[in-house]
């Protein structure tokens, strides 16, 4: 985006881009199948088989952690590689140094936070964290799981920055701890597969009791896999958030006295 472009020009450019893609969006929207109707048999097959075979009522978790569990392992390590890439890319300017003091550049002052914003963040942060844990724990019974729960947990932690600034984030969210959570989560998921192999079973084959259908702790090995995903996703997003927040502390050479 050119540096000299005015807000009005940006708005006009956005409107023109929207008009260009609008026909395609409308075509897709008008030709989507009816809710619950689909031309492929796989959804019906999973709905019929998973409750009896895996003792869970969330079919998405059955697919993610069992029927295509090896694919999900690949996604975990894709996330690990993406977070590593972001970390290396952003570290190129600031190096290894860490500080609890936010950076300030001329023309970009940090506005003071209102009492209302601080209060909302202090009240909403714990609620969002608990909701993220709820979503992650109910992966086998209701829509949700480690992917969704991990993102919600990391978003709740981000309210620390909005409510208490970078120094509050720096005190509570340690990069080393989040790195460990992400790596341990991915390793835990992989360890589930290797444990199956050690027991002379196919990779990620369930060897734990499946529990009762509809129970919170049903699903057997999928419970551990889901815990690994929660740690990996929550820790990974927290690491990315932290790296971007650390970038705000960098004062370019041109602005230094």
Question: pLDDT-derived band of residue 97, with 50, 70 and 90 as boundaries?
Answer: low
Chain segment 168-185, per-residue pLDDT in tens: 787 888 888 888 998 999
Quote the tokens at residue 92: 């190129």
Chain segment 160-169, per-residue pLDDT in tens: 888 888 777 8
Q: Please determine, for residue 255, whether its predicted confidence score (pLDDT) is greater than 80.
A: no
Per domain, the residue ranges of the chain are: 57-255
> In sequence order, which ranges of the chain are alpha helices (DSSP H)?
7-30, 42-54, 59-62, 69-94, 115-137, 146-172, 175-198, 221-247
Chain segment 236-252, per-residue pLDDT in tens: 999 998 888 877 665 55
**pTM as predicted:** 0.78
Chain segment 26-37, per-residue pLDDT in tens: 999 998 888 777
Chain segment 44-76, per-residue pLDDT in tens: 889 899 899 989 999 999 999 999 889 999 988
CA distance 66 to 49: 12
Answer whether 238's CB lies under 8 Å from 247's CB.
no
Chain segment 185-205, per-residue pLDDT in tens: 999 999 999 999 999 999 989
Chain segment 120-168, per-residue pLDDT in tens: 988 998 999 999 999 999 999 998 889 999 999 999 888 888 888 877 7
Quote the tokens at residue 130: 């608990």
Q: Please determine, for residue 4, whether its predicted confidence score (pLDDT) is greater than 80.
A: no
pLDDT given for residue 105 in this prediction: 59
Kindly state the DSSP code that residue 65 receives in the 8-state scheme.
I
CB within 8 Å of 46: residues ≥ 6 apart: 59, 62, 63, 67
CA distance 145 to 69: 14
Opening angle at CA 96, ends 90 and 101, nearest 5: 85
* Phi–psi pair at 105, nearest 5 degrees: -120, 150
Dihedral angle, C-alpha 46, 52, 56, 57, nearest 10 °? 60
pLDDT given for residue 98 in this prediction: 58
- Three-state SS at 39: coil
């Amino acid at each position: 985006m050119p540096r000299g472009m005015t807000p009005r020009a940006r708005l006009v450019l956005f409107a023109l881009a929207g008009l260009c893609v609008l026909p395609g969006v409308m075509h897709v929207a008008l030709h989507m199948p009816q809710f619950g109707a689909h031309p492929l048999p796989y959804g019906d097959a999973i709905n019929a088989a998973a409750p009896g075979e895996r003792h869970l009522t969330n079919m998405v978790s059955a697919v993610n952690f069992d029927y295509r569990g090896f694919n999900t392992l690949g996604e975990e390590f894709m996330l690990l590689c993406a977070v590593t890439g972001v970390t290396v890319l952003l570290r190129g300017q600031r190096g290894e140094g860490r500080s609890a003091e936010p950076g300030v550049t001329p023309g970009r002052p940090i506005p003071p936070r209102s009492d209302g914003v601080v209060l909302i963040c202090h009240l909403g942060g714990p609620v969002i964290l608990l909701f993220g844990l709820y979503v992650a724990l109910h992966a086998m019974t209701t829509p949700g799981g480690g992917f969704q729960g991990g993102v919600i947990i990391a978003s709740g932690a981000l309210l620390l920055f909005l409510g208490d600034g970078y120094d509050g984030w720096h005190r509570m969210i340690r990069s080393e701890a989040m790195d460990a959570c992400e790596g341990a989560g991915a390793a835990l998921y992989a360890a589930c597969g290797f444990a199956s192999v050690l027991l002379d079973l196919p990779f990620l084959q369930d060897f734990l009791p499946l529990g009762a259908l509809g129970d919170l702790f049903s699903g057997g090995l999928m419970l551990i896999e889901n815990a690994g995903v929660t740690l990996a996703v929550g820790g990974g997003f927290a690491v990315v958030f932290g790296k971007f927040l650390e970038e705000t502390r960098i004062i370019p050479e041109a602005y230094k006295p």
